[in-house]
Every structure is written in C-alpha cells, then in structure tokens.
Chains A and B, each alone.
Chain A
Amino acid sequence: MEDLTFRHTVPASAAGTRLQAIVGVVASGNLEVLAERVLSPTECLFEIRTAAEGFREVWTAVIADFVQRYSPGGLKLSVNDGGARPDTVALRLAQALRMMETGR
C-alpha cells in the first residue's frame, strides 16, 4: 500500500451543488472515488490510497491533467485504488466530477 497526497490551487470551483458523490468499486484493476465539497472554491485535494507501489510519477501526471482540464475547486477527492490503469483512474475522476455536477 502507498498513500499519496496532492494539493492544487485552481481558478474556479467545480460546478453543481451536490455535496458528496461516490463512483467506482474497490476491486483489482478498479478504484473508488469519493468526492466531497468541503474546501474553499480555489482549493482541491486528492488523498490516494493505492495497492500498487512506485507509481507516484504517473499519479502526479494524471492528477495534474485532471486539475488543468476540469478545475475541480472546492473538492476533496479520496481515492481507494485497487491497482487500476491510469486511463481508468482518469475516467473515474471525471465520472465523480460529473456526478457532483449533475447527480448522475
């Protein structure tokens, strides 16, 4: 297990008013993302607990792209990862954000 934390400052807050959302499942090759609207609008925080060690660089890149693309201000995103591939991680993060925005 490895714990990783990333904190970013962003220009805008995540859309929508929903306070909490959860997507995905904790399973091998998959991951669960819990999104909570608990921070100030220009802050976002990622707390990652992953089964696969030694992928810090990849996580850094995936999260940086996600932040740049969506500006998820105000969100704390907790990730419970079962060794998912980076593209699956990016997809689940986007799904969590959509759920915060639209509730689906």
Chain B
Amino acid sequence: MTNWQHGREERQARIGAAANLASGKLVAPQDVTRLLEAVMRPGDRVCLEGDNQKQADLLSGALLAVDTAKVNNLHMVQSGVVLPSHLDLFERGVARRLDFAYSGPQSARIASLLFGGKIELGAVHTYLELFARYFIDLTPNVALIAAVSADRHGNLYTGPNTEDTPTVVEATAFKDGIVIAQVNDVVDELPRIDIPGDRVHFVVKSDKPFFVEPLFTRDPAAITEGQILTAMLAIKGIYAPYGVQRLNHGIGFSTAAIELLLPTYGEALGLKGKIASHFALNPHPALIPAIESGWVKQIHSFGSEVGMEDYIRARPDVYFTGPDGSLRSNRAFCQVAGLYACDMFIGSTLQLDLQGNSSTVTASRIAGFGGAPNMGSDARGRRHPSEPWLQAGREADPETSPMLRRGRKLVVQIGETFGDRNVPLFVEKLDALALAAKLRLDLAPVMIYGDDVTHIVTEEGIANLLHCRNAVEREQAIRGVAGYTEVGRGRDAKAVERLRERRVIVRPEDIGIDPLDADRNLLAARSIKDLVRWSGGLYSAPSRFRNW
C-alpha cells in the first residue's frame, strides 16, 4: 500500500515533539527557541514573517538562538528582509538559502553577504510572485508569523497590519506545515478573527508589541519646488487627459506632492470627481487633505501605516474595515487589485536607462522589488475596458482594429533628473547589470522593464513613450527629459524638437504650466502638523515626525 499521508504524519510527529513545551497552544517566550528546535528540521523552508511593515521580531530572535547542530541550512522564503536578525541567521549558519522580495533597510548588508557567499540566493521576487510560489514550489514547512492578539484556541486578530499573514498561513497550514504566531496579547475574546485557530499550531505571547515601521509617511516640509513641478506636470499632463480614476502611487516625495496638490491645484483645474478617486494604496498620511476634500471614494491597502489607525476607523466609507472598526489590509489581494483593477501606476526610481528600464539596485545595494514591478506592469490577462486603458492602447498601436486591440496600463516614472547628492537619475547603463555580472545572476534585477513604462516625468517635461515608434525615438524622448544629466546633454537637439512637435515630449509651457508657479504654497499641507490639523486630530503622527 502506498502511503499518501507522509506530510500529515510528519507534521503530527513534529507537533508531538513540542508537546511538553506547550500548554494547549500556548508556549512561554523563554521556551520558544526550544520549540523551534523541536519542530524544525535542517534544510526546512521557513517563512519568518518579515513583511513590508510588521515584523515577527520575537520569533526572529528566538530562531537566531537555536542550536545549529539541530537546526541549520534553512531555506528562508520571506517577503521582507528587514531586521538585522534576518541576516544574522545567515552569518550563524542557521539559514543558507534565501528567496525574498524586499530588503529596504538591509539592502547594503544583504549585498555584502551575497558577495561573501554567506547567502545562496534563489531569486529576488515581487510580492505577488513570491506568494504565488508559496503555493507551487516554495511552500513553507514552518511559518513564524505576527499578530496583535490570540485567544486560547489560536484564533488570531492581526489588527490593521494584516499584510501577508493570511497568504503565508494559507500556504503553510493547508500543506502540512506548522504555523507559530507571536502575539502582543492573549485574550478571552478577539475584536475580530483574521486567522482561524485551526490553522495555528502554537502561540507565544511577546513581552513587547511586534515591530512596525512607518514606511509610508512623507513629511510635506521636505517636498521641493522641483517635486511640486513634476507633480503639476503629472496632474495636468497625464491624470487629466487620460481621466485616471483607478490608480496606485509609489512612496516617493513626488507622488506625495501629487496627493497634496489634488485639493489645491487639481481643484483649480476642475478635476475633482474626474481623476484619482479609487486607490490601491497604503494609508498615506499625505492623502488626508484629498480625502477630507471629497476627492477619494475608496482605498484598498496592502498594510497599514503607523499613526493612521484612528483616522481610518473614523472613515470607513473610504477604507476597508472589519466589524471591530479597524482597517483590514491584505497585501496579496491589494497587489492583485493594483495589477488588474488599476489603470495607472506612478512612482519613482533610482536609475533609468536609455530604453526606460528602471532599477533601484546600485553597485552596493540590493533593495529588492517589493510590489513595484507588479504595480508597474501591464496585466496581459486583463480583459475589462476602461477609458484610460483604451486610450493608452490606442496611442501605442493606432493600426490594429479597435475591437482586437489590447489596452495598456499607464506606467509612469516620475522624478527629478538629479537625486540626492547630485546623483543622476538617467544613466547609459544600469548598475544592476554590473551587479548581475558580479553575482553571476541569470537576470539583471530590473524593477520595471522599459517596454512597460509609458511615461517619464521630470522637471523638464513629460516623455510619452507610447508615441515612440522605434528604439531611436525612444532614446531621444528619454534624453529629451533628462535635463542636465550626461544623458540629457547627450541629446540630439533637433530630434528632440521634432518629438516635441509631435507631442511625444511635452514641456511645462506646452500645457500652460509656468515653472515659477511651482511654489510650496500650492501644497494643501506643508508640514506633518498641517496633516494632523486636516484630520481633525485623528492622525497621530509617529514621534520621529513630530517637531512640536
């Protein structure tokens, strides 16, 4: 007789090995390392919940302390490599292989561990792509997750930062894996159930709340005139003519400027109700003035944002909230929403090459992709029409019959021609190529491929790549908005003028924008305190953003 239940039996054996450490499902914090030694095997695939924002920090610390004779060579499959302890695992030999999506604050160290051979890299993914692989070939044996509270049955309340948890638990629990949750509290009754208890095998009450990073707060005080100018160009030159209502914003200052210009500049242009009404977006504090002014109908979120909890709770018409009143976020669903139901992605990047390929990788940093490549790409499986999508499709391919023509998602890269410390945004060759050669990767880590980018906005103007008919035109269109960077100064001035006549390149004055009007007084809020005021005191800014 063939045994069809190896996985189930294995799980039972592992849970049995930890039985003496648990009272019901509850395990004391000081026993967690022993719990992990009991349920893990060398080479296991482990998802240590490191999301974009919330971190299972207690479990991460406990895993780091395991006896490496018992637990070693783990294959970490986690979306965010964010905490120092996530990488200490590799230094200590607890883990060896890594598949991930985002590494923001650890981007420099992850690169040095890769160069030093301490990490064996599987691949750098987008969030949705890594989640997909959880169900096909990267299913975790053990998931270490974070929640706000649990009851004695192991039911979990994740609060506003649900993020990746349902996806991780789904893949692990239903394929014979073990789910261990750290919680801030164990209570008799949960405010709501985000994860049913029959999917959770062990619960640990942490002494301090799990770590959450306020990643999406941009202080309006730091927005420059150049960013305001690019924001004006985007609103008048892209949002308005395409009538973009359903969209996702990146996290940079240029998009924060757009959010803060909607109730002022956007209002003056008569665009209220015509653009920017439905978002796949984290709860950006910078969007508060637009929400309060009645611009925004609906927002679905990947995660939450520290300080926005009470504001969200008071605005359930706008946000997705649970029966307890607090936000319900879900990264996988929101990524799908951004891919299939949004007509535009607009965000910044660190480098753009002559064909519009973009990358946030520099020679010594691997920041990962997060969600941008998914947000910023055309969904080839999309079938429902919408005006912006059809218009972009028409511009890209005027020849094909309308009934058979694909639409196009608007994928907009926005930024100033020079970034921090005068580093140019435009380059002849991406640093990602040098990095790929050094690490012998099969693919250079390109965040958004040039053939997905439809527009580039800088303080010099807008390049509409949909109108470009060949690689030469494309290159000159990009050079034509690259300002005083070497790439920009290397333009063929006559070719760029011809592109301008065809409206492939649009200068501020071509659409009635005077760069001298790009003034900070246009921002609906000019400080974090202004945002608090707009929210009627409901937004509680994290201390690092308070100067009062």
Contacts and interface: CB of A to CB of B under 8 A. Distances in A.
Interface of A: 52, 55, 57-58, 61-62, 83, 85-88, 91, 94-95, 98
Interface string B408-441: 0000000011100110000000000000000000
Contact of A94 (B418, B422, B516): B516
Contacts of B450: none
B457 to A, nearest CB: 13
A55 B421 CA distance: 13
B226 interface: yes
Contacts of A83: 421-422
A58 B422 CA distance: 11
Given A94-B516, A95-B516, 14 more contacts: A55-B422, A57-B489, A58-B489, A61-B489, A85-B226, A85-B416, A85-B418, A86-B417, A87-B460, A87-B483, A88-B225, A91-B225, A91-B226, A98-B516
B516 A58 contact: no
Nearest to B422: A85
Contact of A86 (B224, B484, B515): B484
Interface in B230-250: none
Interface residues of B, number: 16
A95 B418 CA distance: 20
B456 to A, nearest CB: 15
A87 B516 contact: no
B483 to A, nearest CB: 6
Nearest to A55: B422
B500 to A, nearest CB: 15
Nearest to B519: A95
Contacts of B421: 83
Interface string B195-230: 000000000000000000000000000001110000
A57 B489 CA distance: 10
B459 interface: yes
Contacts of B422: 52, 55, 83, 85
A93 to B, nearest CB: 11
Contacts of B224: 88
A24 B89 CA distance: 50
Contacts of B418: 85-87
A44 B518 CA distance: 26
Contacts of B516: 91, 94-95, 98
10 closest cross-chain pairs (CB), A and B: A86-B484, A85-B418, A87-B459, A58-B484, A87-B226, A61-B484, A98-B516, A61-B489, A87-B483, A94-B516
Contacts of B226: 85, 87-88, 91
Given A52-B422, A86-B417, A87-B417, A62 B484 contact: yes
B422 to A, nearest CB: 6
24 contacts: A52-B422, A55-B422, A57-B489, A58-B489, A61-B484, A62-B484, A83-B421, A83-B422, A85-B417, A85-B418, A86-B417, A86-B418, A86-B483, A86-B484, A87-B416, A87-B417, A87-B418, A87-B459, A87-B484, A88-B225, A91-B515, A91-B518, A94-B515, A98-B516
Contacts of A86: 417-418, 483-484
Contacts of B518: 91
B328 to A, nearest CB: 41
B480 to A, nearest CB: 14
A95 B484 CA distance: 19
A85 B460 CA distance: 13
A31 to B, nearest CB: 12
Contacts of A85: 226, 416-418, 422
A87 B417 CA distance: 8
Interface string B477-519: 0000001100001000000000000000000000000011010
